[in-house]
Each structure stands twice: as structure tokens, then as C-alpha cells.
Structure 1
Amino acid sequence: MERIESVKNPKVKQWKKLHTKKERENTGTFIIEGFHLVEEALKNKEMIKILIVSEEISLPHTWNVDNISITFVTKDVMKAISDTEAPQGVAAICEFQTTYTPEKWTKVLLLDSVQDPGNLGTIIRTADAAGIDGVILGEGTVDHFNSKVIRSSQGSLFHLPIVKGSLDEWLNVYKNNNIPVYGTSLQNGVSYKEVPEADRFCLLLGNEGSGVNKDLLDQATKNLYIPIYGGAESLNVAIAAGILLYHLRK
């Protein structure tokens, strides 16, 4: 066990940098904070590199922290590495997982340029609840290790495989595996209710303002829309994800 008292400690400075995408990608690590998120991460212990605990905090006796490196810090250090107004006193440095096999997935969610962290986190949480095999993030989609995404996901990114990749390439993979690809668009689309539930499908959702890129929609087996019965112009993309995922999956 280690104890750090100074906010100027090199490790503290490096941990603070993990709030930037560049540092996360350079180190292959990301930071989480709060009891709930750390507890969820402990269910996948190999991801945790360092557990950081404020000196006045007692860890729950139900947590299995065997073989995990623990660093105790002062309140000032915890506040320095936190991006919340009221740190709970526990955080962790976690490592990226790279052992996923998206080519084997049969219930897949593809996201094209979803930019709002809250939306992405909610979509990940919803996909986890719906039992989707995994999520593929296309170009322009916010980094799923962004702290706001992590908080909105409520820890689901520790349960659900998430990868970044070319949506063009993955659409070809799934179509070649005879998995139907459903785009989301009013243009040349049909009501989602016309599509039966299935145990194999690929759902493609797009940007909050402009929707899915037309070149990607052109590759879809069928495009779906959700009817609007009231005066709203459109549905939030995370709400749409919930409706469609729960309708499509068997």
C-alpha cells in the first residue's frame, strides 16, 4: 500500500490528465470515481490497475480487493483528481480491455457520431439491460471513457463489450454473416412495428441532429422509424435506442 499527501506528486498529475482523451489513449487507462462505479468495476477485477482511497474512508467489507494495488490519499489529493463537486472518496485507475471479438456478435448496436456524453452513457446502459452482445462506436462518437459517459452508463461499460471501429467495415461483416442491418430514418423507412423480433440483428443509430450518415443508411437491409403521435419533432436518440432494442430482441 502507498500513501500520497501532495497534489504535486507525479502520480497525481498523471491521474488528473486521464480526464483528457489524449492521455487515456496514450496510456490505455481511464479513471472512475464513486462507490457504485468502483463496485461495478470490481466485478471485472482485471480491469482495475490501482484503487485510490481517501484516508478517511472505510471500504465496504463486501468488496474483494485482494491482489489489487491500493493507494491512500488525502482529501485534497482526492479532490484534485476528481471532476465532481463532491468526491465520494474512492476512485480507480482502470485499463482498457482489448480482447473482444465483434465478428462473433449477433445482436449488435452501431453508433454513428453520437456526440452527447449523457446520451451515449444512457444508450450503453440500455443496451446492457437489453442483453445486446456489444456496441461499436463509429467515427465522431464521443469517447466512451469520458467521465460523463461513464457516470451516465452507471457502470454498464464494465459488463458490455464496447469497441471503436469503421461502421462501413462492420456493416459488411454482419451482412456477410446474414445478420439483418436496420438503419433508423424516416426517409424510405417503415414503422419499427412492422419488423418482427429476432435473435440476430444489427441496429444503426445516428447523430442527435443529423441522424445516420446517408452512405451507411444505403447499406441497411431496412430502415426503421418510430411514429410520433404528438407535437414533438423527434425522439431523443437514447430513448429511440431503448424502444428499438427492446422491440427487436427475442
Structure 2
Amino acid sequence: MITSTKNEKVKYWKKLQTKKGRMKEGKFFIEGYHLVEEVVSSDWNVEELIFAEGTPIPDWGKSLPIQHVHGAVFNHLSQTKTPQGIAAVVHIREEPEIVGAPLLLIDAIQDPGNLGTIIRTADAAGFSGIILGKGTVDVFNDKVIRSTQGSLFHIPIMQGDLEEAIPKLKAEGYSVWASALEGAEIYNTVSPDGKLALILGNEGSGIQKPLLKLADKIVKIPIYGKAESLNVSIAAGILMYYMKG
């Protein structure tokens, strides 16, 4: 039982809550019953489980290394308003090879909630993988992970330079769609045929022009009311389900 927040292991876990710490150690910290159960049942490597004093250990967690901590220590570690008393340290795995279609290409989306929701929706819509371009929020950010609701552990995700990745995809027979307003066709007037990839852009500035020039189709979702635009995660959901056919 760890009872002090000054314990070296506690300091180590706190370090995993920073991007710098995650990159250095190659691990990340997650908390909450659902997320921990999801990662344990996936093919990701879980280093250890952390339980607050008095929190029951579920059957699926009993075969893993377990560390008990005092409730005050867990609250010190927790990044949620209502801690559930269960957390895990997980190894960042080697980036998977992404095969199949459709694919999602993320250009500098910076809001953690948006990215997590998009990952969750891509998983639900049956997308084959996601490439995160430069300037995108860290996928192992706590808010991103929580917003994915476990989908982070089910859909292949890799980092990449989209200016390099898109020409390679086109050479492999993919048709690349970009979600933008200028020079765009209404999305449901374009037939979603063949292998497709969809670019989604930054919340404020949209897709970078060099990437737009690489797209085969630029599509938009019509706005019928007075809203200026749709939230990027909502637009992503509409387009992904349409493209999946």
C-alpha cells in the first residue's frame, strides 16, 4: 500500500500524465473502470493496475500486477472530478501498419475532446485506420483517451506527415476527399466508390492548402440554419458514415 504522494512510484505515474514523460518512458496512464477493462481485453501491453484502497478488483484484473494506494494518493493521481479508484499504466505500442479502407487523415485537430470523439466515431463507423498529421493533439492525452471511450485500443492509429502520406495513398488507388467549404461539392452528391480516405482539418483554420491541393474531391455539409459551421467531430461523423456506404 502506497500512502504518500511523495512516493517515487507516484511521481513516476504523474510524469506519465505529461507528453514529455510519455515520450521518454514509452508508456501512458489511464483511469476509470471502463477504459481499464477495455485496454485489458485488447492486445495492448498493460504494465500494472492501480487500485485505491477498498476498491474491489474485478476478475479480469487479477492476473496482472496490482499496486494498492491510499485514497488520497489516488485522488492526487486522478484527472477526473469523480475518481473511480482504478487506473493502469500501459505501454505505447509500435505504430501499426494500416491496411484497408476507408481511412481518416487528421490535419492539426487540437481539441482533445474533438479528437477523441472522432476516433470513437471512426471505430463505430468501421474505418480501417487513422493517420494523425503534424500539429494534432497528443493521442495519449488524458482527455483524448477518455473521449475515445476505449476505441483508442480497437482502431489502428499512426502519426504521419500527410503531405507524404496522401500521394502514397493515391498511388495505392485511394481517392482522397477533403472536408472544406471553398470549391466544394455537397457531400451526398458525390458517390463514395472504391478505396476512400477523408481529410479533416483544424477547428479554426481548416485543412492546410497544400493538402487541399492533393485531394481528389472537396466536399461540404450544407448548413440549413444560421449556424456558421458544424463542430469538426459532428461533421466527421456525418461524412464517415456516408463514405462507409
Into which bin does the TM-score normalised by the smaller protein fall? over 0.9
**CA distance in structure 1 between the partners assigned to 2:101 and 2:116 by the alignment:** 22
**CA distance in structure 2 between the partners assigned to 1:17 and 1:135 by the alignment:** 27
In structure 2, the partner of 1:25 is: 23
In structure 1, the partner of 2:109 is: 114
The equivalences for 1:195-214 within 5 A come to 195-198=190-193, 200-214=195-209
In structure 2, the partner of 1:6 is: 4
**CA distance in structure 2 between the partners assigned to 1:243 and 1:145 by the alignment:** 25
In structure 2, the partner of 1:232 is: 227
Letter in 1 for 2:179: T
Q: Which secondary structure does the structure 2 equivalent of 1:84 belong to?
A: coil
Runs (5+) with no aligned partner, structure 1:
none
Q: Which secondary structure does the structure 1 equivalent of 2:42 belong to?
A: helix
In structure 1, the partner of 2:69 is: 73
TM-score of the two chains, using structure 2 as the length reference: 0.96
Q: Which secondary structure does the structure 2 equivalent of 1:180 belong to?
A: strand
**CA distance in structure 2 between the partners assigned to 1:208 and 1:99 by the alignment:** 26
Deviation at 1:5, TM superposition (A): 2.0
Query: Structure 1 pair 197/187, CA: closer, same or farther in 2 (3 Å)?
Result: same
Deviation at 1:173, TM superposition (A): 1.4
**CA distance in structure 2 between the partners assigned to 1:5 and 1:105 by the alignment:** 49
Matched, 1:47 2:42: no
**CA distance in structure 1 between the partners assigned to 2:177 and 2:28 by the alignment:** 32
**CA distance in structure 2 between the partners assigned to 1:200 and 1:5 by the alignment:** 54
The structure 2 residue matched to 1:131, chosen from 126, 130, 133, is 126
**CA distance in structure 1 between the partners assigned to 2:161 and 2:16 by the alignment:** 25
Deviation at 1:47, TM superposition (A): 2.2
Identity of aligned residues (%): 50
Deviation at 1:143, TM superposition (A): 0.5
In structure 1, the partner of 2:96 is: 100
Tell me the number of residue pairs that the alignment of Structure 1 and Structure 2 aligns. 245
Contact 2:186/2:220 (8 A) holds in 1: yes
The structure 1 residue matched to 2:152, chosen from 138, 157, 173, is 157
Deviation at 1:188, TM superposition (A): 1.4
Over aligned residues, Cα RMSD in angstroms? 1.3
The structure 1 residue matched to 2:80, chosen from 61, 81, 84, is 84
In structure 1, the partner of 2:140 is: 145
Deviations 1:86-124 (A, max 9, x none): 21100000111215102x232110010101011011001
Deviation at 1:85, TM superposition (A): 2.4
Q: Which secondary structure does the structure 2 equivalent of 1:218 belong to?
A: helix
Deviation at 1:175, TM superposition (A): 0.3
Deviations 1:60-80 (A, max 9, x none): 33x2542x2111111121111
**CA distance in structure 2 between the partners assigned to 1:45 and 1:92 by the alignment:** 14
Deviation at 1:45, TM superposition (A): 5.0
Contact 1:114/1:208 (8 A) holds in 2: yes
Letter in 1 for 2:22: R
Query: Structure 1 pair 173/60, CA: closer, same or farther in 2 (3 Å)?
Result: same
Query: Structure 1 pair 209/99, CA: closer, same or farther in 2 (3 Å)?
Result: closer
Deviations 1:29-88 (A, max 9, x none): 111001011111111154211111112010233x2542x211111112111111122211
